[in-house]
Amino acid sequence: MNHSNEKKYNKVIVILSVAIPLAVAALFGVKIDLELPFFLPPIYATINAITALVLIMAYVAIVNKKIKLHQRFMQTAIALSLIFLVMYVLYHMTSDSTKFGGEGIIKSTYYIILITHIILSIIVIPFVLITYVRAITNNIERHKKIARITFPVWLYVAVSGVLVYLMISPYY
């Protein structure tokens, strides 16, 4: 398969890259009067941490030319990210946002991490999808090129999600 096979996926990538952030933003405005049996933030923060570890393991696997293992890790990372997204939206639909209570430099640091996390979590969506499509269409050279960008951004989003949770957790 080659570059022309990738083009078949472009419409889906564009639609998902626009629809996911818009749906998340729209769902933030929806409030459901539902008390969940568990507190989601530590769960989805843990999923972010596991995603970061899986991404690192995928990188190590591909460096060691273990392609099938790399593929399984990457599919796992995508699945974990989807589970995170569902839990994150569900939490914000059923709970009020928590205000950060820190002061001074810690407050500035928190907001820098939070804002970059949010922006990059939106930007990384098409990168993940394009990288994945290039892999499944066996366009490995183009896959490698974009993966060099996708990997650090996705890893930052996963790690910064954990940091945001750890920094705001005293204020829940």
Confidence grade of residue 19 (pLDDT, cut at 50, 70, 90)? very high
Q: Would you list the domain boundaries of the chain?
A: 39-171
3-state class (DSSP) for residue 44: helix
Position 161 confidence tier, pLDDT thresholds 50, 70, 90? very high
State the pLDDT at residue 2. Answer: 61
Residue 138 has pLDDT above 90, yes or no: yes
Q: At the topology level of CATH, where does 39-171 sit?
A: Four Helix Bundle (Hemerythrin (Met), subunit A) (1.20.120)
3 state DSSP class of 51 = helix
> What pLDDT was estimated at residue 27?
87
User: Tell me: the pLDDT tens digits for 84-126?
Assistant: 999 999 998 998 889 999 999 999 999 999 999 999 999 999 9
Query: At residue 140, does pLDDT exceed 60?
Result: yes
Would you say residue 1 has pLDDT above 60? no
Give residue for tokens 């974990």.
80
Confidence (pLDDT) at 34: 86
With a CB cutoff of 8 Å and minimum separation 6, the contacts of 160 are 113, 114, 116, 117, 120
Per-residue pLDDT at 40: 94
The chain-wide mean pLDDT, for the chain, equals 94
3-state secondary structure of 113: helix
Position 59 scores a pLDDT of: 98
Say what the pTM is: 0.91
Res 28: pLDDT: 81
- Identify which has the larger pLDDT, 30 or 66: 66
Q: HSE of 119 in the Cβ direction (CA atoms, 13 Å)?
A: 6
47-94 pLDDT per residue, tens: 999 999 999 999 999 999 999 999 999 999 999 999 999 999 999 899
Q: Are 163 and 113 in contact (CB under 8 A)?
A: yes
* Residue among 51, 62, 39, 7 nearest 169 (CA): 39
